[in-house]
Structure 1
Amino acid sequence: MAALSIEGVSKFFGEHAAVDGLSLTVEPGEFVALLGPSGCGKTTMLRLLAGFEEASRGEIRLGETLLASPGHHLPPEQRHMAMVFQSYALWPHMSVADNVGYPLKLRKVRGAAYHERVQRALSLVALEAYASRTPQELSGGQRQRVALARCLVVDPEVVLLDEPLANLDRHLRAAMEQSFRDFHRRARATMVYVTHDQSEAMALADRIAVMRDGRLVQWATPETLYREPRNQWVAGFIGQGSELQIATGAPGQRLDEAALMQGLNAPLTSRTQPVLVRPEHVRVSAETPTARHLTARVEHQTFRGERFELHLRLAHGAALMAYHPHALDVGQTVALTLSEGWCLERD
């Protein structure tokens, strides 16, 4: 297996840059996600990797093999990659086994080798018992696994996945996340997964490339993206939290309770540093506030099953989200302490 290298890749459609100078390296066997809102360029980047689009600038390499550069374009069938589409793209008149084996037939693989590879691919997605069924007899999740098996039957070095869970309901999507983790562990292929759903990306990927307007904004592990988002936009896109303005700290710095309190108690005109406070770092108490507390009013709350999600308003007007095990009264004044915050770059 080889690393997948993307160096300064851009794709223009007329004057519009759908992908703008993107660079990153995917390690062999890694599961990475391209994450961002609609129109950010993530699907275009996937199509550039697959060879369905030609790069306007930059280079794409798989190990030592140059896949794409201006003036050089290796066709999709020579890239040792396979792609799973959002629509599954299964032949309705073929059995599951025939759908899985179709890429082998195109490569003129026949006989025992054909049947062995089809059975091996079906076993990787736990569908051996469904080999003779047609796609119409399967659930949405099973059809998705057939599409995965069809990818694996050709032993690709890289599997590309274009929003593969978008057509499934919420319950089935959660179940399929575990199927994808198991699939990646068994297949050991490098996987590049496009999604606009941050919870999917956070649950599945080893690393995530967060994209906006065709550009790479941050390339990091899920934990780093959550705990240390680079700027205000990423902080708002990944997870829940509140942005406050304080008078201390610098981008990339983590502040403790004392520093936060000092920065929040400064005059409003000196509070120019944005800081992210996650809800789990807000401690709410119904006790009488003291000098070491902030005060806030409960504006509304949402029951989330295991906890209540509180939406609070600080005395100086800023909004703050917190978690609490019990319901509070709307309009109630509560005492707060903030255990930590992460200083952000401005957008």
Structure 2
Amino acid sequence: MAGLMIDRVTKRFGEQVAVDALSLDVAPGQFVALLGPSGCGKTTMLRMLAGFEALSEGEIRLGGRTLASREQHVPPERRHMAMVFQSYALWPHMSVADNVGYPLKVRRLEGDAYRRRVAQALDLVDLAAYAERSPQELSGGQRQRVALARCLVADPDVVLLDEPLANLDRHLRAAMELSFRDFHRRTGATMIYVTHDQSEAMSLADRIAVMRDGRLEQWATPEALYRQPRSAWVASFIGQGSLLQVAAGRPGQRLEEDTLMRGLAAVAAERTQPVLVRPEHVMLLPELSSQRGLRARVESATFRGERYELHLRLESGEALLAYHHAALVEGHDVALLLREGWCLEPDR
């Protein structure tokens, strides 16, 4: 299986730069998410990978083969990639089996070999029993699995997925996340998955490329993005947390409790280092009179099922998010400790 190399790829539409010098090195068999808000360039990047858009600058390579550069453009049908669209793109007049087998018919594969490949693809997405049904008889999640099987049947080097769960309701999205993970585990395919939903990306991907305004903000594992975001923007986009200013540390440094608490106690003019504090690292103290803790006022308490989400206001005026096992009265003061924080680069 070949690795995918995206080398300083740029795409311009007139004066607008949609993708700006993006570089990624995707290992064979990796599940990669392109994550970012609408308009950040992630779908444009996917279309350049598929061959639907030409590059303005840079190069795309699959293994040792150049697929795209300023001088070269391999057409989509010769890239050995397959794409799953948000709209499924199934033919209503064909059965499920015929939809799945269409790429093989284009390649003129027939007979037992054709039937065997279609059956294997349907088995992998648990739809063998639905082979003779029409797409209209299936649920949204089942149609999405038909689209996956159609990708798989052609044995592509790379599977491209353009927000494939966006049209499904919350319950179906959760079920399909399990299907995608299982699909990846069983096939070992290299997958590039575009989404604006950070929870999808965090639960599915081996590595995530966080994009903003056409640029790569950070390229890391889901755990590294959560625990060690590079900038304030990434920290606010991935998970929940609070951004505070402290007089301690440097970007890329983890602050322990004592250092963090001293840094917060400094005068405002010295507190110039932005730091991320996740809500699970905020500990409420049982006694308000404790000399160890910071004072904060409860602004609201929201029940989230397994816990309460507390919105607090520090004496400095900064907002702080915390989790707690019980509701606290709005307007009351509490004492708290911050167990750790992560120092960020200033936002651009």
* Shorter-chain TM-score range: over 0.9
Structure 1 position 121, deviation (Å): 0.6
**Amino acid in structure 1 at the alignment position of 2:297:** R
Counterpart Cα distance in 2 of 1:275 and 1:289: 26
**Amino acid in structure 2 at the alignment position of 1:179:** S
- 1:180-259 equivalent positions in 2, closer than 5 A: 180-259=180-259
Match of 2:143 in 1: 143
Structure 1 position 251, deviation (Å): 0.3
SS in 1 for 2:288: coil
Which whole-Å deviations, capped at 9, do the CAs of 1:302-338 have from their partners, x for residues lacking one? 1000000000000111100000000111111111000
- 1:1-347 equivalent positions in 2, closer than 5 A: 1-347=1-347
Counterpart Cα distance in 2 of 1:5 and 1:264: 43
Counterpart Cα distance in 1 of 2:280 and 2:209: 25
SS in 2 for 1:72: coil
Preserved CA contact (<8 Å) 1:286 1:333: no
Counterpart Cα distance in 2 of 1:289 and 1:194: 50
Q: Give the superposed CA RMSD.
A: 0.6
Which whole-Å deviations, capped at 9, do the CAs of 1:226-257 have from their partners, x for residues lacking one? 00000000000000000000111100000011
Structure 1 position 270, deviation (Å): 1.0
SS in 2 for 1:264: helix
Which whole-Å deviations, capped at 9, do the CAs of 1:87-141 have from their partners, x for residues lacking one? 0000011100000011111111111111011001101101000000001100000
SS in 1 for 2:298: strand
**Given the two structures, how large is their TM-score scaled by the length of structure 1?**
0.99
Counterpart Cα distance in 1 of 2:85 and 2:316: 49
Segments of 5+ residues of structure 2 without an aligned counterpart are none
**Given the two structures, how large is their TM-score scaled by the length of structure 2?**
0.99
Counterpart Cα distance in 2 of 1:307 and 1:27: 39
Segments of 5+ residues of structure 1 without an aligned counterpart are none
SS in 1 for 2:77: helix
Counterpart Cα distance in 2 of 1:203 and 1:288: 38
Counterpart Cα distance in 2 of 1:218 and 1:288: 40
Which whole-Å deviations, capped at 9, do the CAs of 1:170-223 have from their partners, x for residues lacking one? 011001100000000111110000000000000000000000000001000000
**Amino acid in structure 1 at the alignment position of 2:240:** Q
Structure 1 position 287, deviation (Å): 1.1
Preserved CA contact (<8 Å) 1:242 1:279: yes
Q: For this pair of structures, how many residues does the alignment match?
A: 347
Structure 1 position 289, deviation (Å): 3.0
Structure 1 position 284, deviation (Å): 1.0
**Amino acid in structure 2 at the alignment position of 1:208:** I
Counterpart Cα distance in 2 of 1:25 and 1:119: 33
Counterpart Cα distance in 1 of 2:139 and 2:275: 45
Structure 1 runs of 4+ aligned residues shifted over 4 Å read: none
Preserved CA contact (<8 Å) 1:309 1:322: yes
